[in-house]
Chains A and B, each alone.
Chain A
Amino acid sequence: MSIRAWVNALRDAIRSITHSTLMSVASTASVAVSLLVLAVMLLLALNLEYMAASVESQVEVRAYICAPYADEPVCKKQEPTAEQKQVLVNQIAALPGVAKATYVSKEQALNELKKLYPEDSAIMEGYEGAENPLFDSVLIQVKDATQIKPVAEAVQPMKGIRKVNWGQDWVDKLTTVTHAVRLTGIGLVLLLVVATVLTISNTIRLAVFARRREIAIMKLVGATDWYIRRPFMLEGIILGLVGSGVALGGVAFGYAKVEAYVRTAVFPIIPAQELMPGLTVSLLLLGTALGAIGSIVSVRKFLKV
């Protein structure tokens, strides 16, 4: 295949795109919207997974110790003695899967709270000493995330333990959401992909129709199907590429905004520079593929002479 033939095909493709501006814009927009939704869904799912993973890795188990003002029946309105508390800490530390068990008194807990919310420290002054509503607790660090559940379940029945808190419900919720996002994402994207292929194939069909005489003559003088198909393929690919470019721009802009916003909210989010290269390549490839498929669909019929 000569370079000239490609140049001719490209010229024909561009001529056709500029000739039917409205349809070209519609196709491009369709590609852009589909890919944008695809990208948003993908980014959402990836980030939720990332979040779940980082929550899970940070999860610590906190076992609260009974106090007279605890409502749980297991406590029987009693508080273990300092010695009993020490025994409890040692017992927990000896459990398999536990890396470290630290005793945190309710005074320490209040101080941590003050540090976390300095603007409210004045209010918290009122809860010093005997007024402290918090509980003594044991902060348990596990060796790895899979140990969280067994450790929590082993600590729960220990005497003097009010309740055990751990991030599992958080992680579960995140996983459920990730699942839902992934499912709706896949459904939505499939629908949009079909719609996009149809829009592009319609645009190309118009282009083919406008040139049907030319195509008939080409066939008669012995042009191969590939020669005839080439400009239309190129047209589809250009529409797909431009569409994916628009989608990419939108995603890059939007993600930067979200990243800047979320950063300040101390949420874990995947940095843009880690995501963008892969996303760029896959969106451009997808756009090209959608364009090519759309045009093949519509040219095929007209080639039957």
Chain B
Amino acid sequence: MIQLVNVSKTYPGAPAPSLNGVNLRVERGEFVFIVGPSGAGKSSLMKMLYREELPSSGKVMIDGKDISRLRDKDVPYLRRGLGVIFQDFKLLQERTVFDNVAFALECTEVPRREILRRVPASLELVGLRHKAHSTANQLSGGEQQRVSVARALVRNPVLIIADEPTGNLDPDNSWAIMKLLSDINKMGATVVVATHAKEIVNEMRKRVVAIEKGKVVRDEERGTYGYEY
């Protein structure tokens, strides 16, 4: 599903590379935690996956295609196959829950009938169908993140990329979101989660890839968080 080959990234003006010769392989249907101290390069790695950033060198393969060599105008079509979830939810605050989820379909010109069928199903999955007509800013943080998960899910993506999805949430809501991601994984999607949620990582016992100073320093099946913070 994902294959990083010798990926390095140096931001202009930065003293050290954010990523330094990273090799990583994630198979279809895997669930992977990316852990590591702040500034270790987790976010850079995640951004490579949905081509927000381009590697300075190396290859980022998704489904066998090197997306770092994708033309700009083909990037939207790559992203339509991905579900991306952020720490800050990235919702349209003054729009309704329904609109926020529908938005992902509307702006890729999915027919209206299809939208009316798929959005409620997706909201059902995250347990927010009853809130469809509330605006995003009326919801709690946990609920907002569930909306953003619903938005990621609504297109049945093969790959979910979550960059610190629980960073702004309390433990209960964090658990709820992680369970949700785990459920989605069981339904067949490949899920990559960058996180600092030590307890959850330790409890869930999934594959853990640790990154420090731009390098993969540990890669364990059924791993643990391994840091004190």
User: Do the two chains belong together in a single complex?
Assistant: yes
Residue positions of A touching B, CB distance < 8 A: 1-2, 4-5, 8, 213-214, 216-225, 227-228, 305
Q: Which residues of B contact A220 (CB under 8 A)?
A: 50, 79, 84, 90
Q: Report whether B80 and A221 are in contact in the complex, using a CB–CB cutoff of 8 Å.
A: yes
Q: Tell yes or no: B151 within 8 A of A by CB.
A: yes
The complex places the Cα of A1 from the Cα of B103 at a distance, in Å, of: 16
Q: Tell yes or no: B221 within 8 A of A by CB.
A: no
Interface segment, B10-18, B107-115, B196-204? B107-115
Q: Report whether B73 and A225 are in contact in the complex, using a CB–CB cutoff of 8 Å.
A: yes
The complex places the Cα of A217 from the Cα of B76 at a distance, in Å, of: 12
The complex places the Cα of A214 from the Cα of B106 at a distance, in Å, of: 13
- Interface size of B by CB at 8 A reads 22
CB proximity to A under 8 Å, residues B101-157: 103-104, 106-109, 111-112, 151, 155
Residue positions of B touching A, CB distance < 8 A: 50, 52, 73, 76-80, 82, 84, 90, 92, 103-104, 106-109, 111-112, 151, 155
Least Cβ distance of B146 to chain A in Å?
A: 17
Q: Which residues of B contact A228 (CB under 8 A)?
A: 107
Q: Which residues of B contact A216 (CB under 8 A)?
A: 90
Q: Report whether B77 and A2 are in contact in the complex, using a CB–CB cutoff of 8 Å.
A: no
* Residue in chain B with minimal CB distance to A8: B106
Q: Which residues of B contact A305 (CB under 8 A)?
A: 52
* Residue in chain A with minimal CB distance to B115: A4
Q: Report whether A2 and B109 are in contact in the complex, using a CB–CB cutoff of 8 Å.
A: yes
Q: Report whether B77 and A222 are in contact in the complex, using a CB–CB cutoff of 8 Å.
A: yes
Q: Report whether B90 and A227 are in contact in the complex, using a CB–CB cutoff of 8 Å.
A: no
Q: Which residues of B contact A221 (CB under 8 A)?
A: 79-80, 84, 103-104, 107-108, 151, 155
Q: Report whether B109 and A5 are in contact in the complex, using a CB–CB cutoff of 8 Å.
A: yes
The complex places the Cα of A8 from the Cα of B99 at a distance, in Å, of: 13
Least Cβ distance of A123 to chain B in Å?
A: 83
